[in-house]
Amino acid sequence: MAIPIIFDCDPGNDDALALLIAMAAPEAFNFLGITTVAGNVSVDKTSMNALKICELAGRTDIPVYAGSVHPMVGELAFDDAHGASGIDGAVLPDPKMPLQDAHAVDFIIETILSHKQPVTMLLTGPLTNIAAAITKDPAILKNIAEFVIMGGSMTSGNITPAAEFNFYCDPYSAKAVLECGIKTTLMTLDVTHQLIITPSRIKSLRSIGNNQADQIANMMEATQNYDIENFGLEGRAIHDACVPIYILHPELFKVKPAHIHIETAIGERFGHSNISLYPRHLPKHPWLYVSTDVDAESAFNKLIGWLKKYSINRK
């Protein structure tokens, strides 16, 4: 049975890929909605990008709700990793469906409270929307099955030496979500930097022969130099794609129980995720699990398989 999900994101080319993977698996994911947040780019751009990805995927049945414009405290720190549009390199269809009228936070609350099954949250941007929803109505915690989050780092950050981008954008929300006691699986930079779209893998994407894969290849090609020059990677890290891949194929990931502390004090370590895997630091009943490794080759092959589904559906 497909699991009910809300996909909260800030597209972003890696969010775009993550969405396309999840949309290609209706047997696994029952999309209740997509919610957007300011992160990689402003919320008006992330919302438009989400609509365009739905159009590209032929999934205009999925409603999109715009969410938080700024973090819980302070102003947003944009990065240029995805280009000015958030999906630089892509040529996507104009969306025919409009944004929904409701705010993302209200949609999250109403949907989780009313749904008959516990809802799984896929979270690939700053955690502002879900933190606001928990604060506004803590009763939703009773009907959330799990958070699967891209964020944090056990080693170095990617926006500052100490902090990963999503957590740096809104560490107060990250702290609220990660301390609420809901089962959480975290994809940190330590694992997402293992899943790279290299130039040879871009060729593999183009060999699929459908527009969805071509547009992902375009985005990766347009922005790959950012990761090559800044982090010494062999291509473009597809961070957020780890979230749906993990749910679809958890056997490809090594996951361990962990303790985490998010640094919210202003200073050099602002947004840092202090993660310990030592048994002595774990709570009696751990709810947080951190992925430490991924079988990157198998994960990429699975990714190719999901993008090929768009060719089958077209026929």
Show the beta-strand stretches assigned E in 29-94: 29-36, 64-66
Give the pLDDT confidence score for residue 281 in this predicted structure. 93
pLDDT digits (tens, 9 = 90+) for 81-94: 888 889 999 999 89
**Helix/strand/coil percentages in the chain, nearest 5:** 45, 20, 40
> pLDDT at position 75, please?
78
**Cα(301)–Cα(285) distance, integer angstroms:** 35
- Cβ contacts of residue 170 below 8 Å, gap of 6+? 71, 72, 73, 126, 127, 128, 131
The 8-class DSSP code of residue 179 comes to: T
DSSP bridge pairs for 274? 261
Q: How confident is the model at residue 313 (pLDDT cuts 50, 70, 90)?
A: low
Strand 253-257 versus strand 273-276 pairing type: unpaired
Residues forming beta bridges with residue 208, ordered by sequence position: none
Domain 3-314 has CATH 3.90.245.10: yes
What are the tens digits of pLDDT across the range 150-163? Answer: 999 999 999 999 99
pLDDT (average), residues 240-256: 98
Parse the chain into domains and list their residue ranges: 3-314
With H, G, I as helix, E, B as strand and everything else as coil, classify residue 41: coil
User: For residue range 127-173, what is the model confidence (pLDDT) as tens digits?
Assistant: 999 999 999 999 999 999 999 999 999 999 999 999 999 999 999 99
Residue ranges of E strands in the chain: 3-9, 29-36, 64-66, 119-123, 144-150, 184-187, 196-197, 236-237, 253-257, 259-262, 273-276, 288-294
> Known catalytic residues?
239
Q: How far is CA 186 from CA 42, 49, 209, 273, in A?
A: 24, 24, 33, 11
Per residue in 39-52, pLDDT (tens digit) is 999 999 999 999 99
Q: What is the pLDDT of residues 74-122, one digit of tens each?
A: 777 777 788 888 999 999 989 999 999 999 999 999 999 999 999 999 9
pLDDT per position as a tens digit, 175-234: 999 999 999 999 999 999 999 999 999 999 999 999 999 999 999 999 999 999 999 999
**Of 214, 213, 219, 220, which is closest to residue 307 (Cα–Cα)?**
213
Q: What is the pLDDT of residue 220?
A: 96
pLDDT bin (cut points 50, 70, 90) of residue 315 is: very low
pLDDT in tens, 257-277: 999 999 999 999 999 999 999
Residue 294 bridge partners (DSSP): 253
